[in-house]
Structure formats: C-alpha cells, structure tokens
C-alpha cells in the first residue's frame, strides 16, 4: 500500500521500481546490472571503493518539492501527489520495516541475474549481491522528507552497511537534525545563481534558493564525508563557474562531483525543453572542472569517462581517505 496515485504507481512499476510500504522504493541501478554481467563498474567504485553489485539504489520518499528539468525520474503531477510539506504521507513506516523489505526487494531483483552467473566472477558477485553492503538513498524524490531518517541511518550502520544520502538542499531543518550522519552526505548543486536555480529546479515551495543556501552553510559544519554533486546541462546551467565556485566555498565539502547530464527517462519529455545536444561530452566536463579547480582551490582527483564525471577533492587528506573503510561503520 503506497500513499500515491495508483496509475503513477503502475507506471513506475513498469519502469522497474519496487515499492516498499507507503513511501519507499528500490530499483536496480544500470551499473549494478552491468557488474552482475561482468561489465563496467560505476563511478562510486572508482571514486569511493563501493562494490557496484552490492549497492542498493533506494529512497524513503517517492515525491519531491522540486521538478528539476534535467531529472531522469518521473515527476508526479503536483495536483495529484503533493510533497510540498513534511506531512505528505498519512503514516510513516518504521525504519526496520523499510530496511528489511528494501533488502527483500533487492534480492528479488538480483535473483533474475543468476542465469548470467556463468563464470566464477559472475557467480561470486551474484552471491554477494544478495547481501547488500551499501544503501544509496538517491533513487527518486527527496529522502529527507522521511522524518525517521536518523533512525534509518543508524539501523543501516548497525547492519554494517554504508549510507549515501542525496539531499536537494531545501530542508535545512531536517538536515540539521540528522544524528547519526550518513557515511557520505550529498547536496545537489543545480545552479550557480538564484535566477538559474529557479529555471532549472522549478521549485514547488517558496524561498527554495534561500533554503538551499542555508543547507550549504550547514553542510560545512557536519562531521561526515560531504559532497556537492553537479549535473551540468549545456545551454541551461553549464555556465558561470565563478558562481559555482562561490557556492563551493560556502559549503566546503570534501568532494565535488562534476557530472554531465544524460538525456534519458523523464528528461526526454518534450516540456523539459532538452535534447541530445544538451549533453556535454566528457571532454567538456573535464574542461569545466579544470576551471572550477582554479576558482575554488579544489584539486582534480579522479574521473569516470563512461559516466562523464570528474571528482574534485578539497585537500590531500580528502583525496587520501576517499575509499570507504567498512570496518569503521557501526
């Protein structure tokens, strides 16, 4: 039973979403599937040492209070499914229920890949995939709408799983209340200035830009690994690197991910106004990242050409400690 329109639920199920309770979901990532087939691993493996086949792509909230033009996810009609307030759900599920059933659905998904496990490597990965070690709360929507996020993170860590939480920056109150913090906390950096931000994110709430700036200020105070993730779209937000650099200096994250937009999924909808030409090449991403290096003082650390993404690190210590140490998760 989900707190969402039945037709939207059916549409998303056709797209591969597996729902958990009233408001959560998991869906297999392209790179998890590739890893189980013995193919390319994801940038999280290159940057942070995550085993792609043990990563569970998930969310604790289907809806969002932004409608970003570049988002590949389905954006529900705001008249049918409002997520502008923290009380969007009639009753919030308990953390243990969510985790148990996320893992159950993840196992259901990967069970279909056993037929591909025809080599020693693939069979080893398939067996390990049934015991996920990493939860990425970034599948769709805004996960911090879930009011029990701290307890959820704590439960994941008790199970020896690392957590990556991706936040859109519009809920500074929820961000400040997180305790414990996730293994790695992201804020999406969608634009270099307020005018571009409103064009790109199409916020459903008031004062979204001011709330976003407050979240950046909070991010610099948090004692965990922090990241700003940029999704750059040619002709839309791939401009004004000086503005981006100033925002980076406000947040002072450990890492900045400079990533190219992909013209897939919901981003292909005609009303978004995007096209294949909106996708920057990896060379263009590297060029933009190089400008950010000079303006922000961050340093080039790694890249993943298939994903068209470059990683910048704040300092030598961040660069040295970027691989996840699972022995320290508790």
Summarize pLDDT for 2-32 with one digit per residue, the tens. 666 777 788 889 889 999 998 999 999 999 9
Q: Report whether 69 contacts 205 (CB < 8 A).
A: no
Domain at 6-328, CATH from 3.20.20.70, 3.40.50.300, 3.30.70.1140, 3.40.1390.10: 3.20.20.70
Q: pLDDT (tens digit, 9 = 90+) per residue, 153-170?
A: 999 999 999 999 999 999
Average pLDDT over residues 59-87: 71
pLDDT of residue 279 exceeding 70: yes
Which has the closest alpha carbon to 263: 250, 252, 277, 249? 277
Q: What is the pLDDT of residues 215-237, one digit of tens each?
A: 999 999 999 999 999 999 999 99
Which tokens go with 329? 């998760």
Question: For residue 21, which of 87, 84, 94 has the smallest C-alpha distance?
Answer: 94
Gap between the terminal Cα atoms of the chain: 32
Helix (H) or strand (E) holding 134: strand 134-137
């Amino acid at each position: 039973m989900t707190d969402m329109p039945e037709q939207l639920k059916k549409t998303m199920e056709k797209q591969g979403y597996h729902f958990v309770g009233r408001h959560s979901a998991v869906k297999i990532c392209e790179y998890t599937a590739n890893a189980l087939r013995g193919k390319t691993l994801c940038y999280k493996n290159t940057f942070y040492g995550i085993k792609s086949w043990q990563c569970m792509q998930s969310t604790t909230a289907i809806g969002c209070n932004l409608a970003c033009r570049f988002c590949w996810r389905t954006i529900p009609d705001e008249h049918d499914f409002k997520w502008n307030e923290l009380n969007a759900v009639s009753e919030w599920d308990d953390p243990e229920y969510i985790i148990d059933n996320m893992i159950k659905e993840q196992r259901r998904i990967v069970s279909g890949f056993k037929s591909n496990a025809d080599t020693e490597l693939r069979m080893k990965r398939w067996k390990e995939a049934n015991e996920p070690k990493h939860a990425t709360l970034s599948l769709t929507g805004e996960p911090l709408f879930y009011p029990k996020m701290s307890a959820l993170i704590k439960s994941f860590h008790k199970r020896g799983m690392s957590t990556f939480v991706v936040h859109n920056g519009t809920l500074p109150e929820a961000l400040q209340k997180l305790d414990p913090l996730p293994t790695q906390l992201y804020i999406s950096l969608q634009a270099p200035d307020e005018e571009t931000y409103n064009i790109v994110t199409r916020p459903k709430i008031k004062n979204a830009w001011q709330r976003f700036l407050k979240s950046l200020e909070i991010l610099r105070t948090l004692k965990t690994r922090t990241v700003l993730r940029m999704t750059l779209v040619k002709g839309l937000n791939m401009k004004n690197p000086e503005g981006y650099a100033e925002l980076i200096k406000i947040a002072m994250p450990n890492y900045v991910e400079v990533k190219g937009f992909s013209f897939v999924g919901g981003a292909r909808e005609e009303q978004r106004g995007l096209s294949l030409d909106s996708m920057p090449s990896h060379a263009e991403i590297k060029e933009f990242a190089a400008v950010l290096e000079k303006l922000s003082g961050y340093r080039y650390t790694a890249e993943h050409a298939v994903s068209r993404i470059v990683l910048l690190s704040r300092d030598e210590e961040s660069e040295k400690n970027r691989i996840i140490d699972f022995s320290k998760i508790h």
